[in-house]
A and B are shown apart, each in its own frame.
Chain A
Amino acid sequence: MTALLATEHLTMRFGGVVAVDDVSLAVADGELRCLIGPNGAGKSTLFKCLTGQIKPSAGRILWRGQDITGLNSFEIARLGVGIKTQVPSLFDGLTVLESVRLALRRQARERVARVQALATLERLGIVELAQHLVVLLAHGQRQLVELAMVVAPEPDLIILDEPTAGMSAEETTRAARVIRALNAAHTIIVVEHDMQFIRAIAKTVTVLHQGRVLIEDDVASVLADRRVQDVYLGKTDVSWQVVA
């Protein structure tokens, strides 16, 4: 079966630094995939390549088998990809409702967009914030507003970049619950480095290290893997005869 999103030998170089090195992975429809790795593993660069923020130096990105390498962010979003950034990227001067409505207005008419926006806010439990200015919200609420903007248009794929950044343990547990619930209707890729969070949500995990795929397996096997433990505990003598 054709993967929903796949990369083939994806490479991103910045001068002499190879941030993403020959990464090939495939995410199937309905999957909940975690991309993990310690700082500097290339997660964020891979995220930027997948979301069209930077153009890869080599390799291809495929959407349902079709080459989408080099498309702009807005073109990737139009394919049906919802993107949530690490630091909430929001319209600070607008209200919560207007923000979510804008996420829907590309496809829907004004009235339909309003109804759908309110329904999304209801679903995420923040409908009481509808008329609040985004700039006045607390960090956790801002995360939820961005999530509402991402899920409102019902994208086929949601890519989340470090969704638990800056969250308390309690908020992280709640976020894991929300992401698992979203996975019932959407394919999800989560870019993360918090192992506790990964344990709480993941099914298949791809571990990146120094720009390359170190291992790709189910969460239990990945957590038990000595090389992964070495990477997270800071040892560097990791063997490269890998890849699932």
Chain B
Amino acid sequence: MNGIRLPIELTAASVVTIAAILILPHVLELFALINATVYVSMAVLALSLALVWGFGGILCFGQATFFGLGGYAYAVAAINFGDTVYAVPVAIAVPALVAAALGYVMFYGRISDVYIGAITLTLTLILFNFVNSTSGDQWRIGAAPLGGFNGIPSTPPLNMPGDPGNPLPPEWIFAVAMLSLLICYIIAKLILRARFGRVIVAIRENERRAELLGYDVRAYKLGIFVIGGAMAGLSGLLFANCVFVSPTMFSLFYSGQIIVWVMVGGLSTLVGPVIGAILLNLLTTWAGTLPEINPSLILGAILALAVLVMPRGILPSLATVLGRFRGARGMT
């Protein structure tokens, strides 16, 4: 059964991606298309935490660390290299390496879950404060000024491969973001289907038993943490292409929101967090247009309601309702 389901799921995801790439640029205005690209980058970020937390069981409160590092690494490399295509591997490698170093200390040091949450959150807040304090001409990497509170407003967008003078238009950036999301989804699916992913899920279920079966839990956790870090870096790169990089990428606002997207969408699913990220971002944008009421208040109320009504998240709850509906139809 599972053998049939995977190709169907991957085909469905590919069809949705291609349809979005072909249709949305024609129906959305430029501003809305750029917003949509931001939402897709957020979806990649949610997917990264879905792997690390939902399947790996590592509650990383600081996924924004890798998001911010990906964005800054891209901006700095793009400004220095000229050809922004070469900045892409840098934006993925830098957060992955930081995740590897941090993960090594945490997992090989046998640090418990609660402290992992505290350490990752602290790191992102340290980076937030640090990057905020990098205004002034002395804070530059090569030709790229870090810009302190203002970030790097001159973050160049991706260009046509081999043609640095020809930046990609927003429609193409949107297509790149959608394809990145699809690739991340396929990678996540394949990882979870492989032995590595199954062991990761087993470790989430019972770390001690996995170890007693001969699996080096530390190495597996490190592996999924690094993959999550790399994906979050890619999401930072996409975000940098729509907006620009600034210290807010490391802020508590993002760190907290990513967790909410995954929770509301459905922990232990891949599509759920993607839907959660897009829906909640749409909602936040809409709430921002209401003059009379604070958008955070509406968002907070909806989150509280979602957790009360659908504690397992949107996607698992929908699946349950559909299952009951089918069951009821089967009986009549």
Interface residues of A (CB under 8 A from B): 51, 72-74, 77-78, 83, 85, 89-94, 98-99, 102-103, 105-106, 110, 149, 153
Contacts and interface: CB of A to CB of B under 8 A. Distances in A.
A72 B215 CA distance: 10
B216 to A, nearest CB: 5
Contacts of A91: 202, 205-206, 209-210
A83 B206 contact: no
A102 B205 CA distance: 12
A106 B205 CA distance: 17
What are the 8 A-B residue pairs with the smallest beta carbon separation, nearest first? Answer: A77-B214, A91-B205, A89-B209, A78-B214, A73-B211, A83-B212, A74-B211, A93-B205
Contact of A77 (B198, B205, B211): B211
B205 to A, nearest CB: 4
Contact of B213 (A72, A92, A102): A102
A51 B199 CA distance: 20
B209 A90 contact: yes
A52 to B, nearest CB: 9
14 contacts: A73-B212, A77-B212, A77-B214, A89-B206, A89-B212, A90-B206, A90-B209, A92-B206, A93-B201, A93-B204, A102-B199, A105-B195, A106-B214, A149-B209
B208 interface: yes
A102 B202 contact: yes
Nearest to B206: A91
B215 A106 contact: yes
Contact of A94 (B201, B213, B217): B201
A108 to B, nearest CB: 10
B290 to A, nearest CB: 41
A110 B194 CA distance: 9
Contact of A74 (B201, B205, B216): B216
A70 B183 CA distance: 43
Contacts of B210: 91, 102
B209 to A, nearest CB: 4
Contacts, number: 60
Contact of B211 (A72, A98, A102): A72
A74 B204 CA distance: 16
A189 to B, nearest CB: 15
B195 to A, nearest CB: 6
A85 B211 CA distance: 12
A160 to B, nearest CB: 12
B198 A102 contact: yes
Contacts of A78: 214
A135 to B, nearest CB: 9
A195 B311 CA distance: 47
Q: How large is the interface on B (under 10, 10 to 19, 20 to 34, 35 or more residues)?
A: 10 to 19
A83 B213 CA distance: 8
Between A78, A85, A92, A102, the greatest number of chain B beta carbons within 10 A of the residue's beta carbon is seen for A102
Nearest to B217: A74
A91 B202 CA distance: 6
Given A102-B199, A102-B213, A89 B208 contact: yes
Contacts of B195: 105, 110
B29 to A, nearest CB: 45
A153 B204 CA distance: 22
Given A89-B208, A91-B205, A105 B214 contact: no
A77 B213 contact: yes
Nearest to B209: A89
Nearest to B198: A102
Contact of B215 (A74, A85, A110): A74
Contacts of A94: 201-202, 205
B190 to A, nearest CB: 14
A200 B215 CA distance: 34
Given A102-B199, A102-B213, 12 more contacts: A51-B212, A74-B213, A74-B215, A78-B214, A90-B209, A92-B205, A94-B201, A94-B202, A102-B198, A102-B210, A106-B214, A153-B214
A91 to B, nearest CB: 4
B206 A149 contact: no
B168 to A, nearest CB: 42
B198 A74 contact: no
B201 to A, nearest CB: 7
A106 B213 contact: yes
Interface in B184-226: 195, 198-199, 201-202, 204-206, 208-217
A98 B197 CA distance: 13
Interface string B277-318: 000000000000000000000000000000000000000000
A153 B205 CA distance: 20
Contacts of B198: 98, 102, 105
Contacts of A77: 211-214
A90 B206 CA distance: 6
